[in-house]
Amino acid sequence: MEDGSNTSNHLKQIKNWLLSHSQYLNFFTILVLASVPNPLFDLAGIMCGQFGIPFWKFFLATLLGKAIIKTHIQTVFIISVCNYQLLDFIENEFVRVLSFIPGLATIMPNLIGKLHTVRDKYMSPSPPVPANIKVNKWDLSVASIWNTVVWLMLLNFFIKIVTAASQNFLKEQQEKELVALSNDSFESNLSTSKSIQAFDI
């Protein structure tokens, strides 16, 4: 029971801190949150919308953070992970530092062997598929089902946008026609009343 109330208290404290410091959601804060891969950026985006941060401030900080800074961070990370010389250097330094810890010297060779196996598994190129083996074209998997659902949602979204735009266009056209008809009927009523007045005279 105490754990639940403790968690609830911590969540309330975090919420209160976020709400009290939301005024500091400036360009630099949004840029930092967009640059680092973390789930907090979604929360920051929601809070920016809630507290009325101007769109262009949010958009430019997000564009710079995600398109320039985060992309370069990820590129450097991938290049460094795929670089055998750098991996070997890091491994040697890691082994050197861990060799100072008593008891680890006995399990280090086994651990290093497992790390080498994993590295060779993921770093080695996949074997080429021989030409005489038929490759299945249609593979029903969770990923293909998910991709189909996403594409159907996008198609539905596109259809709804086109439908709403065409309905708005038709509504404007009908309003223009109604205004023209009411003007025509007003003018015809006006001319009819003038002709009646002229006939009475």
CA–CA distance, 69 with 98 (Å, rounded to integer): 33
pLDDT at 199: 58
Give the global pTM.
0.41
Beta carbons of 16 and 44 less than 8 angstroms apart? no
* 127, two tokens: 């074997």
What's residue 173's pLDDT? 92
Looking at residue 36, its pLDDT comes to: 83
Other CB atoms within 10 Å distance of the CB of residue 81: 13
Cβ pair 51, 25 in contact under 8 A: yes
Give the per-residue pLDDT at 55.
87
Q: What tens digit of pLDDT does each residue of 45-56 get? A: 887 887 788 888
Neighbours of 34 (CB within 10 A): 23
Positions in the chain whose pLDDT score sits under 50 = 1
Burial zone of 7 (CB within 10 Å; 0-12 exposed, 13-18 middle, 19+ buried): exposed
Q: Which two tokens stand for residue 143?
A: 């990923």
Q: Which two tokens stand for residue 166?
A: 């065409």
Q: Which residues contact 40 (CB under 8 A, 6 or more apart)?
A: 33
* Residue ranges of domains in the chain: 1-81, 84-125, 144-201
